[in-house]
Amino acid sequence: MPPKVAVTLTTTKLRIATRNSPLALWQAEHVASLLRLVEPSLHVTMVSMETFGDRRLDLSIPELGGKGVFSKEVQQLVMAGEADLAVHSAKDLQAVTPEGLAIAAYPERGDPRDALIGCAMDDLGEGATVATGSNRRAALLLDRRPDLVLRPLRGNIGTRLAKMRDHDALVMAAAALDRLAVEPPIVDRLDPAGFVPQVGQGALAVEVRADDQAVHDLVAAIDHGPTALTVSAERAFLAELGGDCNLPAGAFAVLTGGSKPAGSGTTIEIRGVLASADGTGLQRAVETGPTSVDPGRLLARRLRKQLEAAESAAGD
C-alpha cells in the first residue's frame, strides 16, 4: 500500500487526463485507486479524449509522427488546466518531458514482455504471416525468422484481436492482456533478453504540472523506486538516440545486486537493440553500471556506433 503522506490540496477533487481507449481508462482508474489509498477523501474524475492517433488507424505510428502521437494531446489538457494530471503508457511518451510538465510517479511496472498471440514462436510455419504495428517488433521478428511475412496492425486491443483470423499470429504488449483480463487461446510471452521490449513497456507514467507542488507530492507517493530507476534508464537511452527516435529500437533495464534498496548508486543492467530504418542490420548490446554513469546513454552510443559500422561495411 502506498504510504500516507501529508499533502495540502486546495481541493479533494482531481481530474485525470487520459485517452478514452479501454486500456487507457483501465490505467487511469488504476492510478486513481492508488491515489485513493494515499488520500481516501479524493474524488477523481476522468477527462478522456480520442487522440489523432486513435482516429487515424490508416496510418502507421511513424507516419503519424512517432513518439508522442498518443500523449501530446493528453498532455495539453494538463498544461491548459483542464486536468490536474495525466496517465500514460510510459512506452508512448516522448523521451524529453515538455516544458511545464513533470513526471511525478512511475507506479510498479507490469509485465514488460511482448506476447505472440495465436501461435507460439517455435510453432510458426515457414512463411507464416505475423501482424504488428511496431518497427522494433518487425525488426526483431525478421532477425529471428527472415522467412516471416509481416502485416501492419493498428487499433485498440479488441480491434487487434479481431484481426487474428486474418493472420497466423500477431504481437502486442503482454501487460495489455493482463490489465484487460484478456486470455487468447495461445499466448507466447517472449523473453525480454532476446526479444527486447520497447522503452517503458509495461510501465505507467503520471505527469503533473511542474508548478503544482501539492498534486506532485500526492502523486509522488505512488512512485515505485525500482520502476522509476529502470524506466528512467531506458528513457535516457531513447533521449540519446534523439528523443522521438523512429528507428527500430528497444531497451530493457533491470536492477542488479539482489535485494539492496534502490538508490542513486544502484547498479543497472540495460540491454538494447537498434536497427536501420528499414529494419536491417539489427545490433544488440548490454551495459551494466551505476545510475551515476547513465548506462542508458552509454548503451545508445555503443549501439549507434555498431550500427554505423555495420552500415558502412554493407556499403563498401
Whether residue 167 lies inside any domain: the answer is yes
Tell me, what's the pLDDT at 164? 83
Q: Distance from CA of residue 2 to its chain's centroid?
A: 23
Does residue 297 share a domain with residue 160?
no
CA-based angle 260:263:265, to the nearest 5? 90
Q: 260 near 266, Cβ under 8 Å?
A: yes
Residue 268 to residue 220: CA distance in whole angstroms: 22
Whether residue 302 lies inside any domain: the answer is yes
Does residue 213 share a domain with residue 101?
yes
Average pLDDT, 10 consecutive residues per value, the chain (316 residues): 55 89 95 96 92 55 58 92 96 91 98 96 97 93 96 81 88 95 93 97 98 96 97 96 81 80 75 94 97 96 96 83
Does residue 32 share a domain with residue 181?
no
Q: Which segments within 55-122 are labelled E, that is strand?
A: 85-89, 101-105, 114-117
C-alpha cell at 113: 514482455
Whether residue 228 lies inside any domain: the answer is no
Q: 312 near 285, Cβ under 8 Å?
A: no
Whether residue 82 lies inside any domain: the answer is yes
Contacts of 242 (CB under 8 A, 6+ apart): none
Tell me, what's the pLDDT at 259? 45
Q: Which CATH number is 287's domain given?
A: 3.30.160.40
Domain total in the chain: 3
Does residue 126 share a domain with residue 22?
no
Tell me, what's the pLDDT at 8? 54
Tell me, what's the pLDDT at 57? 52
Does residue 99 share a domain with residue 124?
no
Coil vs helix vs strand at 204: strand
Residue 151 one-letter amino acid: R
Q: Which CATH number is 179's domain given?
A: 3.40.190.10
Residue 311 to residue 306: CA distance in whole angstroms: 9
Q: What residues make up the domain containing 101? A: 13-107+203-223
Q: Which residues are catalytic?
A: 92
Whether residue 300 lies inside any domain: the answer is yes
Does residue 207 share a domain with residue 147?
no
Residue 190 to residue 171: CA distance in whole angstroms: 10
Does residue 25 share a domain with residue 169?
no
Tell me, what's the pLDDT at 65? 55
Kindly report the pTM of this predicted structure. 0.90
Does residue 215 share a domain with residue 140?
no
Does residue 255 share a domain with residue 217?
no
Does residue 52 share a domain with residue 121?
no
